[in-house]
Structure 1
């Protein structure tokens, strides 16, 4: 089978996406891809979802933060960004999705928008609610483990134990 001429080949844009969730969340590429498709289908409908054609190209999630590159057809980047903004949980874990930028190549998206992550986090004992608890501390904020969930706090809400 012959390739299409260059002027007939589909053109793509690549969205650099940042992900953030609780420290105990387990998010994988397949679940994120499924949520991208569902969000696009629910917001844009079947024709709009097919036009946008959201596909996860690169995915990395470790700890509580992650990064992804999502491929979108040229001209459909705004509807795709809106669909990604509708994602609020993946496999039952709440997640924040932020489009960091858009590029015409995968390499440019990685170099300009993904690159180096924020500071590394560490587990520490903190005093929160007059009790000593375990928290994941990162750059002035902490996710304090309560009985069955986490509470997001700033350095004004807790004391180091």
Structure 2
């Protein structure tokens, strides 16, 4: 079977998506893809979901931080961004997603928006509300382990 001529092939755009959640949450590529498809069906319906045609091309996630490269049809970028923005929970865990940028090629998207890997994290003990607790720190913030989960804090909250 011959390939389609270039002018008949589908045109794509690539979304660089930043993922953030609590440090004890584990998300893999398949889970992220499935929830992205469900969010598209819920937001734009079956026909709209097929038109947007979201696919996760690359995915990395560790210690509550990650990034994904999501492919979307060229004419459906705005609806694709809306679907990403509407996804707030994955497997019952709160998740924050942010589109870093949109590009016309995978290479340009990786170089411009995904050049850095996941943020380096460190586990240490901090004093929070008068009690010494374990925390996962990254840059200028900390995720402090409490009895019933985590709470987010900045370095100013820890002083």
Smaller-chain TM-score range? over 0.9
Residue 3 of structure 2 aligns with which residue? 3
Ranges in structure 2 where 5+ consecutive residues have no aligned partner: none
Ranges in structure 1 where 5+ consecutive residues have no aligned partner: none
SS at match of 2:156: coil
d(CA) in 2 for partners of 1:119, 1:57: 21
TM-score normalized by the length of structure 1 = 0.95
Residue 74 of structure 1 aligns with which residue? 74
Aligned-pair Cα RMSD in Å = 1.1
SS at match of 2:133: strand
Q: Report the number of matched residues.
A: 159
Residue 91 of structure 1 aligns with which residue? 91
Regions of 4+ moved over 2 Å: none
Is the contact made by 2:65 and 2:119 (CA closer than 8 Å) also made in structure 1? Answer: no
How far does the alpha carbon of each residue in 1:55-82 deviate from its partner, in whole angstroms, 9 at most, with x for none? 0000011111101100000110000000
Over 3 Å counting, the alpha-carbon distance change for 1:68 and 1:119 in structure 2 is: closer
Residue 24 of structure 1 aligns with which residue? 24
1:1-161 equivalences under 5 Å are 1-117=1-117, 119-159=119-159
d(CA) in 2 for partners of 1:88, 1:75: 24
Deviation (angstroms), 1:118:
6.3
d(CA) in 2 for partners of 1:105, 1:158: 42
Over 3 Å counting, the alpha-carbon distance change for 1:27 and 1:118 in structure 2 is: closer
d(CA) in 2 for partners of 1:95, 1:42: 17
How far does the alpha carbon of each residue in 1:99-144 deviate from its partner, in whole angstroms, 9 at most, with x for none? 0001111110000001114642211101111111000112221110
d(CA) in 2 for partners of 1:15, 1:155: 31
d(CA) in 2 for partners of 1:119, 1:2: 44
